[in-house]
Amino acid sequence: MSKLTVNGRPVQFDMDPQTPLLWALRDAANLTGTKYGCGVGDCHACAVIVDGEALRSCLITIAEAEGRFVTTIEGLSRDRSHPVQQALVAEQAIQCGFCTPGIAISAAALLQRNPNPSEQEVKDAVPNICRCGVYPRLVAAVQRAGRVMQRRERIGAAPAPGISAEDAARAVPAMALPQDNREEPDQ
């Protein structure tokens, strides 16, 4: 049983402790915003924030995540209002659905510790592999998000999402709190 905090909620995974965090999040917790790209640590599509650091969830077991605070793309904001999300839209720097969550997570982790990154610092912190090519706009978006976080700039809100975070992460047995996990008595 591995216990950790995911998007502010205590969760326990009744799974093999060597299960990669990626699969616990996607398959047990239904947090499918975290993407499986390569599975070997190259692409960063699976990035989640663990105790403030963007880590590749395909490389961490749930045993290694025990007791830690994990934020997935679903937990970045409830309504896509995180400055990184807003700036990616405003700068037209959205990439495909596989790449964008990991990019947003990596950028958010960077801006938490450095809201004023240089171009090179953005490139170093957002190493997601993709050749689809919005890199100049991506750097501009991350730097703009940093200015928004410092209240030096504002961005008009992008449209609200069509699905709530709760719906995206609906309760499944592995996400249930201990008291909700009791078996029904035999009739």
Alpha-carbon gap, residue 135 to 88, rounded angstroms: 11
Which amino acid, one-letter code, is at 114?
N
CB of 184 to ligand FES, least distance (A): 37
Residue 80 near residue 33 (C-beta atoms within 8 A): no
Nearest to 111 by CA among 79, 148, 136: 148
Please, which of residues 90-149 interact with ligand FES by CB under 6 A?
A: 95-96, 98-99, 130, 132
The two tokens of residue 85 are: 């999300």
User: Which residue's CB is nearer to ligand FES, number 40 or number 182?
Assistant: 40
Pick the closer one to ligand FES by CB: 10 or 41: 41
| Contact set for ligand FES, span 10-49 (CB under 6 A) | 36-39, 41-46
Least distance to ligand FES, CB of residue 84, Å: 16
Least CB distance to ligand FES at residue 164 (A): 25
Sequence-separated (6 or more) residues with CB below 8 Å from residue 41: 56, 58, 59
Binding mask 80-99 for ligand FES (x = CB under 6 A): ---------------xx-xx
> What separation in angstroms does the CA of 124 have from each of 11, 82, 120?
32, 21, 6
User: Is position 56 an interface residue for ligand FES (rule: CB under 6 A)?
Assistant: yes
Nearer to ligand FES, 90 or 149 (CB): 90
- In eight-state DSSP terms, residue 27 is I
Q: Please identify, using beta-carbon distances, which residue of 134 and 155 lies nearer to ligand FES.
A: 134
User: What minimum distance in Å lies between the beta carbon of 26 and ligand FES?
Assistant: 11
Q: Are 108 and 86 in contact (CB under 8 A)?
A: no
Least Cβ distance, residue 43 to ligand FES (angstroms): 3
Mention every residue, 6+ apart, whose C-beta is less than 8 A from residue 77.
85
Binding site for ligand FES (CB under 6 A): 36-39, 41-46, 56, 58, 95-96, 98-99, 130, 132
